[in-house]
Structure 1
Amino acid sequence: MSEAGTDEASGALAGTTKSSGSAMRGSLIAAAGILIVAFTLRTAVTSVPPLTAEISRELFLPTWLVGILGMLPTALFGIAGLVTPAFMRRWSVEALAIACMVAAGVGQAVRAVAPSTWLFLAGSAIALAGMGAGNVVLPPMVKKYFPKRIGLMTALYVTVISLGTTVPPLLAVPVADAAGWRVSVGSWALLNIVAILPWLGAWVGRGAPSSSSSAGATTAPGPPRAVVRPWRSPAAWALALLFGCTSLNTYALFAWLPAIAAGAGLSAGEAGLQLAIFSGLGLPISLVVPLLAGRLRNPFAVVAFGVACFVGGYLGLWLAPGTATTLWSTLAGLGPATFPLALVLINLRTRSHRASGAVSGFAQGVGYTVACTGPLLAGILHDATGGWAASFAFLGVTLVILAVAGWVICRPRYIDDDPGVLAPARFQGDATPPVG
């Protein structure tokens, strides 16, 4: 080979190596960005409950207002899910991730310095709305940057969400004892600032991760500015009901499992342990289910497993709550296996990250709205009947809906292939490139 040919080949190899290194760096930054955002998405929810007694010494926070505060997450997650896709048609997922984290950080900072109850609630609402939009953004981010690693990245980010749910209540009281409840509540805003940094580079500097060259990012097929209308797809409705009924049952047990256990004669500590068992099983489930679903053509077996576990746990808690309570709590804790399944199906049943974003917003918007009714109706039925039989019957009906919805959405198909789901932009102005 001539000297010139050798130099040319060396240059090509160097270019390939440089490109490979840049892609790897982009992948790592994108993964870090997704996981940091995921960790922040429940901090505003779980950092306050351990501190309500201390907060009420400074702010007016009666029991009924604490109840409203407890309903805010699902309500605002549902509203954010329905509204966010409209922004996604104009903004890139990177720009939207930044906006979500800004809102979450500002909201948490506002309630940390709030001089009045209503400003505290307003700050909470802003933070939760930002986090609700963040819930919607994560699936299309995974679809865009890791189209060949959807199962793995979904498993990782859902697990990190679980960690972000568990850590704040553990740190809330020690930090409050050392520096006051305002520092304890407001310090989580710093994490939102950190979560902005990876996406700020993508949005402003066009650095890694980039929307076209890093981490195997994908673009939507067909008309680039087509409007995605998931409500026209029976499969999208099935996905929303799968997500919603799973969340409904999960939040109902979060609210009432300690009361069921205490009513069966367990001490307050033992009743709290049952809730810890129920919620703690979310970590291994989050790791296993998305990886398994990504390998199955039809993952309905996961739905059947989740429904069977819910049924077994409910029967035990209803008929023999004081006997083998840990077994019933464990079975019920395995039931929400359909939650990470619903999240991974958002990407497995869509062709592009834009369709993923629209379906994510629709499924989570409808789903969290449905979930709001779980704790409320279970409690009303208990108060009306003096027992838990009617509440478990209500939850049993939702499990039938969950199973049917799971059967529909688990069948191999793409939501964006359904008639009427994709529509061309109406106006030339709709072709404006998204912000970022």
Structure 2
Amino acid sequence: MAHDDTAILGTDAEPATNPSARPADGPEHPASGAVRGRPPGSESGEPPGPAAGTPAARWVLRILTAGLVLAALTLRPPITSLGALMEEVRDGLGMSGTVAGLLTSVPALCFAVFGIAAPRLARRFGAGTVVCAGLVAIALGVAARPFAGGTAGFLAASAVALAGIAVSNVLIPVVIKAWFPDRVGSMTGLYSMALALGTSLAAALTVPMTGTLGGSWRFGLAGWAVLSAVAVLPWLVVARQRGAAAGPSAGAAVRTEEAPLRIASSPTAWWLALFFGLQATAAYITMGWMPQIFRDAGVSAGTAGVLLAVTMAVGVPLSFVLPRLAARMPHQGPVVVLLGLCGLAGYAGLWLAPAAGAWAWALLMGVSNCAFPLALTMIGMRAISAAGVGKLSAFVQCVGYLLSLPGPLLVGALYQHSGGWGLPIALMAGLMVPQIVVGVLAGRDRRIEDEA
């Protein structure tokens, strides 16, 4: 829609200012504290950068949009590329199945440990600066880990990259809420679509790129650092803007909400954290182990990588459409149920006929994995202000990723000790049931500020 394009691209047209008008993405909370069509901080009389409505301000919005897309493209290849080359990495570093399972759990651990510091860093330095630094950390970690020497060095360099991903994961929903308060669904959809695209490209291209670079898995993994380096460039501009979503001018608003807002007393925050944790468990098991499931069923390594790419590619269009649809719904429970049923059907297929129906199961798992953009959308909808979204995003992602830690590790251990995929797949399917339940509870029309 033209109205959405105006908000995203920052053209000369102004959005409607009628307070009774319903935004395209759903109802805007009357206490949101954001003035539509103006950058965050402008309502306080201290603009975050160029004056609202000027050509400079519109260019900042364009650059910010490009930065969101590029950041999303680079946030998942460090993880997905490893899944495509897991067998080669295990052989090259001498890993056991249990240690490889630990490696697939490292992302969730780093996201929980480093993500909780993101709101405090954003108040100190500005969200744009922190995201920019996070992208630099991703580039350095991805480039260094294949050559760090041994399993310990690989894990340490991976932790650097994952720390950058963690702070970006938490703060990008804050940036979206602050700069596009009445377009949370649209911008979350754009961000999620690019995230899914980056995930899919890494899954599809890592194996052939490795062959092009001489057949070494080390160069195949390190090559993705180039994309991360490119993603830093627009955020250098964003970081220069005062108060770019939780910068100095927005920091006061964040600090005033800290005392009364006790996030842990909100039932919705807990339901959303549980939902996020269970969908993260499923996603990281899929990214880390699905290629191996297909390879053990007789599928070639190249085809297994393409199947994972298909699973991720399904999320590209759906991740754009789903947040926009969910933002228009008063209750996101029906979407949660639909995604969960697709996941259960995919797991059943992997158990009964992993090779014969591989393409169908990859498609179903791809639909199920769209619980992630749905969770991001609900984070933006369950809080009134950008400050509230920051606290909720940090809480949900840190608690959720901590809860997801045992899943990939347990799958690796079950696979090693049982010698097959029956028990691991049964575990994955069993976890989908509580994911549906807590997702329905998290999808109710609530605001954490009202509960906490």
Please report the TM-score for the alignment, with normalisation by the length of structure 1: 0.77
- Of residues 201, 208, 213, the one that matches 2:237 is 201
Instruction: Among all aligned residue pairs of Structure 1 and Structure 2, give the percentage whose two residues are the same amino acid.
Output: 37
| 2:100/2:412 contact within 8 Å kept | no
Structure 1: 5+ residue stretches without partners: 1-16, 420-436
- Of residues 296, 315, 320, the one that matches 1:282 is 315
Larger Rg: 1
User: In the alignment, what sits opposite 2:350?
Assistant: 317
| 2:280/2:372 contact within 8 Å kept | yes
1:96 partnered with 2:133: no
Measure how far apart 1:335 and its partner are: 1.4
Deviations 1:277-306 (A, max 9, x none): 333322222122111111111121110101
1:63 partnered with 2:95: yes
Measure how far apart 1:272 and its partner are: 5.0
* Separation (CA, whole Å) in 1 of partners of 2:337 and 2:86: 39
User: In the alignment, what sits opposite 1:247?
Assistant: 280
CA RMSD, Structure 1 to Structure 2 (Å): 3.7
- Please give the residue correspondences for 1:282-431 in structure 2 after superposition, counting only pairs within 5 Å: 282-321=315-354, 324-381=357-414, 388-419=421-452
Structure 1 residues 222 and 132 mapped into 2: Cα distance closer, same or farther (>3 Å)? closer
Q: Secondary structure at the residue paired with 2:93?
A: coil
Please report the TM-score for the alignment, with normalisation by the length of structure 2: 0.75
Structure 1 residues 271 and 118 mapped into 2: Cα distance closer, same or farther (>3 Å)? closer
User: In the alignment, what sits opposite 2:112?
Assistant: 78
Measure how far apart 1:153 and its partner are: 1.1
User: In the alignment, what sits opposite 1:157?
Assistant: 191
Amino acid at match of 1:165: T
Deviations 1:178-212 (A, max 9, x none): 9x7766655544544443443433444649x6879
User: In the alignment, what sits opposite 1:132?
Assistant: 166
Structure 1 residues 221 and 363 mapped into 2: Cα distance closer, same or farther (>3 Å)? closer
* Separation (CA, whole Å) in 1 of partners of 2:154 and 2:345: 41
Amino acid at match of 2:432: L
- Please give the residue correspondences for 1:113-262 in structure 2 after superposition, counting only pairs within 5 Å: 114=148, 118-168=152-202, 170=205, 172-173=209-210, 176-177=213-214, 185-186=221-222, 188-204=224-240, 206=242, 220=253, 223=256, 226=259, 228-258=261-291, 260-261=293-294
* Separation (CA, whole Å) in 2 of partners of 1:127 and 1:230: 28
Name the count of aligned residue pairs.
396
Farther off after superposition, 360-369 or 100-109:
100-109
| 2:84/2:291 contact within 8 Å kept | no
| 2:131/2:171 contact within 8 Å kept | yes
- Of residues 17, 38, 43, the one that matches 2:72 is 38
Q: Secondary structure at the residue paired with 1:63?
A: coil
* Separation (CA, whole Å) in 2 of partners of 1:221 and 1:118: 38
| 2:128/2:239 contact within 8 Å kept | yes
Structure 1 residues 131 and 266 mapped into 2: Cα distance closer, same or farther (>3 Å)? closer
User: In the alignment, what sits opposite 1:422?
Assistant: none
| 2:173/2:393 contact within 8 Å kept | yes
User: In the alignment, what sits opposite 2:62?
Assistant: 28
Q: Secondary structure at the residue paired with 1:351?
A: coil
Deviations 1:329-354 (A, max 9, x none): 32233212211100111111111112
